[in-house]
């Protein structure tokens, strides 16, 4: 089978996408497929060489590099002959223009089957504010939050209202980014600290989410098809589970399956499936939670294209369920083809 893996892209999560994509390329080649690693940020010249794949690092891309990219290259790439004989596309693009429905729209216009959620579900999941509104409507517990902008938050009365509503311990994050890019966790926040955190998050998204911090344990639930995988508990060596702790070896411990009472584990997995479904996600996702000291899970967000290196959270959970990484990637391709009415060909 001829499979195109989309990796890289133009968001701040570009290099993480490259790492994920490289892993998926290797896994699908191991299963005997012809795999094309394509970076849509490079337009019609997006096919990557083996040397370029080998040189990938997890460091944040420079602002200068990101500014050099144009969204138009996505259109050029998807319109090119690179996809003329492709059977299915496996997008491993994180953040804006890859995880928010825009690349999915181009794939649907071209009529190519693809792994992952549709443009509508991708857009809903990436929009944290809208997703949380849907969680509340569906009865899925989520931390209280306020959505704001830098212009709105420049008024001291607004900042005071946020602290009065949410307390002094809050998480401030961009509305549509992942990998904790632009995220701040504030303890005993002053008005000045809150404003600075909002302005920092606003560098990555026009809308900013200020969310009540939930003390407790960090959990995540991978979804594969219609099944909730074993829960992963995330224990950073210090502070919060930020970009450094996610992508620096030895900075974080992972426990899978998480040591939880059976009723709490079952309830958390049920909530994860509910969040996945209320957004209309398909094939796979990863649902993040905080578990408070009373055993109440709070859903933070749904990641429609989770990290896909063999050591990422969803593959780690799949491995605990007896599914190795190449098989995981193969299953996802099979799901995409089944949804398109095709059949898997070796």
Look at residues 255, 214, 215 and name the one whose alpha carbon lies nearest to residue 235.
255
SS3 (DSSP) at 266: helix
Give the helix/strand (H/E) hosting 337: helix 325-340
State the Rg of the chain over Cα: 20
Residue 208 CA to residue 200 CA, distance in Å, equals 9
Question: What are the phi and psi torsion angles at 108 (to 5°)?
Answer: -70, -40
CB atoms under 10 Å from CB of 306, counted, come to 25
Asked if residue 209 lies in contact with residue 182, where contact means CB atoms within 8 angstroms, the answer is no
> Beta-strand (E) ranges in the chain?
2-6, 34-38, 88-91, 145-148, 170-174, 184-186, 208-212, 217-224, 227-228, 232-236, 252-255, 284-291, 297-303
Helix residue ranges, H only, 34-180: 50-54, 63-67, 72-79, 102-110, 119-126, 128-137, 150-153, 156-166
Q: Provide the token pair at 165.
A: 């509503």
Which residues are designated catalytic? 13, 179, 247, 286, 288, 301, 303, 307
CB atoms under 10 Å from CB of 340, counted, come to 14
């Amino acid at each position: 089978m001829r499979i195109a893996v989309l990796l890289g892209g133009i968001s701040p999560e570009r290099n993480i996408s490259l790492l994920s994509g490289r892993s998926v390329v290797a896994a699908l080649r191991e299963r005997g497929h012809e795999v094309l690693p394509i970076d849509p940020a490079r337009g019609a010249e997006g096919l990557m060489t083996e040397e370029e794949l080998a040189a990938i690092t997890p460091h944040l891309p420079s602002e200068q590099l990101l500014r050099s990219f144009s969204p138009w290259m996505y259109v050029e790439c998807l319109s090119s002959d690179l996809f003329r004989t492709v059977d299915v596309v496996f997008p491993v693009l994180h953040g804006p223009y890859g995880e928010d429905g825009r690349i999915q729209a181009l794939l649907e216009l071209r009529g190519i089957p693809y792994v992952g959620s549709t443009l509508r579900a991708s857009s809903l999941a990436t929009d944290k504010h809208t997703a949380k509104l849907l969680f509340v409507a569906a009865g899925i517990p989520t931390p209280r939050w306020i959505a704001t902008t830098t212009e709105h938050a420049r008024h001291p009365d607004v900042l005071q209202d946020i602290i009065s509503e949410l307390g002094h311990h809050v998480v401030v994050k961009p509305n549509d980014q992942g990998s904790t890019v632009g995220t701040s966790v504030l303890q005993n926040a002053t008005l000045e600290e809150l404003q600075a955190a909002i302005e920092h998050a606003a560098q990555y998204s026009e809308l900013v989410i200020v969310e009540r911090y939930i003390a407790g344990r960090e959990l995540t639930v991978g979804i594969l098809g219609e099944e909730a995988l074993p829960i992963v508990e995330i224990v950073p060596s210090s502070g919060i589970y930020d970009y450094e702790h996610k992508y620096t070896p030895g900075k974080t411990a992972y426990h899978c399956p998480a040591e939880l009472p059976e009723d709490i584990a079952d309830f958390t997995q049920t909530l994860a499936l509910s969040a996945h479904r209320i957004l209309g996600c398909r094939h796979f996702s990863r649902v993040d939670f905080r578990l408070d000291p009373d055993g109440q899970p709070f859903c933070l967000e749904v990641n429609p294209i989770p990290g896909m290196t063999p050591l990422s959270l969803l593959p780690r959970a799949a491995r605990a369920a007896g599914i190795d990484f190449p098989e995981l990637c193969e299953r996802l391709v099979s799901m995409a083809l089944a949804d398109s009415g095709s059949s898997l060909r070796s």
